Amino acid sequence: MKFSELVRLLEKNGFGLVRQKGSVRYYGKAGVPRLVRVDFHGPKDVPTGTCHAILKAAGISQTGPRLASDTDPDPAADEPEEGPA
């Protein structure tokens, strides 16, 4: 996951940019008492541990919806063919 994707995920879950100083951004959301700090580095990949820590601080589940690439490309291929009865 890239930093820009992580920020998009935060914004999709109701977080908004509260303040920024240099590359450090703080996101907040009504009902969440603490700000979530993201050291933004644009198109670079977020280290796995950093990503987990940011998502945990934001209270976002780490298991999100499956991507289209994760799904079976042809689910009908797994079904048995119907022959003459």
Average pLDDT for the chain: 81
For residues 39 and 16, what is the distance between their CA atoms, to the nearest angstrom?
Answer: 15
In tens, the pLDDT along 44-72 reads 999 999 999 999 999 988 665 444 444 44
Look at residue 36 in the predicted model and tell me its pLDDT: 95
Q: In the Cβ-directed half-sphere of 63, how many Cα atoms lie within 13 Å?
A: 0
Helix (H, G, I), strand (E, B) or coil at 9: helix
For residues 41 and 49, what is the distance between their CA atoms, to the nearest angstrom?
Answer: 16
Look at residue 69 in the predicted model and tell me its pLDDT: 41
* φ and ψ at residue 62, rounded to 5 degrees: -80, -15
- Percent of the chain scoring above 90 in pLDDT: 59
Q: Over 90: is that where the pLDDT of 19 sits?
A: yes
Q: Which domains does the chain have, with CATH numbers?
A: 3-63 (3.30.920.30)
